[in-house]
Every structure is written in structure tokens, then in C-alpha cells.
Amino acid sequence: MNQNSGISKIVYIVVFVLAVAIDQITKNIAQTMLDPGENVNVIGDVFQFAYTENYGAAFGMMQNKQTWFYIITGLVILFIIYFIVRMPMNSKYVPVGIVVSVILAGAVGNLIDRVAHKYVVDFIYFRPIDFPVFNVADIYVTLGMIIFVILVIFVYKDRDFDFLDPRKKNDSTSRG
């Protein structure tokens, strides 16, 4: 393991831990400062805090299907961990490494809620477009996936993801 490899892994862990902490802190603040159904204007009638308990997935789909959420989230978490472990640890992969660390933080942040409360705490609401109430972890997953797709399409080539093939030896020091 070269020095660059250790630094990259530490960066991904720090990004993940900080992102989960921010998500959980904001949800805790929402739970303690807002009452269910209460809307607090932050920017006029445009941006509001509105505490809700989401027993489903995005946009309220699949209400009370907790077992499914545990399975799907577990699979996503396992794949992201596999991705990071197999990913070459050099500067070329830092952007995608950070992005998947943030996506992982979003998945774990909402999983923590499901395990602790049996629902996900949502509290961010944009009234003009009547977008469903969401939280910081949802932002991580949504923006992270958008950035990931952009990176895959415009930055990386197909062969840059050969490391995901379990039949190939993972040599994280020789790729660049």
C-alpha cells in the first residue's frame, strides 16, 4: 500500500462520517424543534421546514414496506463498499470515491432512521413546486447519483471500471 492509497481511504471515511453526522444532526434538530405538520417559513412561502415521518420511500411510495427497505439498502451499501474496496486508490478515482462515499452516507443516514424509528425523518420542503418533503440524506443520494452519472459519462471510460470485475486482480497502485 502506498502513501497515496492510505490518504484516499481516510478521505472517503472522513467524508462518509461527516456526511452521516450532518444528516443525523439536522434530523435531530427537526425532531426537537418542529411539531408534526408544522411548517416554518425559511424563505417566504418558497422554502420551508416541515417535519414529517416517512414510512415509505421517495415520494411516499411503498408505505410500511420496511423489510424491502432493509434489503435494498443493505444491497446498495454492500455494493458501494465493494466499489470502494476494489477501486484503485490514486488521484484519478478521488472524485468518484468522494461521490460514492456521499451516496453511502445518504443510504446509511436513512437506514439509521428506519432502524431507530421505523420511519425516516423528512423536513425540507419547497412549496412552489409542491415537491415532497425530504432530508439531507436524500440530497446526498440524489445529487450524488447525478454527479456519479456525469462522471461515468464524461470523465471515466468503460475500462476505468474494470476493477469491479471480480475475475480481475485488483492492482490499486498501477492504474492511473
- Where in the sequence numbering do the catalytic residues fall? 122, 138
**With contact defined as beta carbons under 8 Å apart, do 68 and 62 qualify?**
yes
Listed residue (146, 133, 124, 145) closest to 56, CA to CA: 133
* Angle at 55 (CA atoms; ends 54, 58), nearest 5 degrees: 60
78 by DSSP, 3-state: which?
Answer: helix
Query: In whole angstroms, what is the distance from residue 122 CA to residue 132 CA?
Result: 9
Q: 78 to each of 66, 128, 132, how far by Cα in Å? A: 18, 37, 28
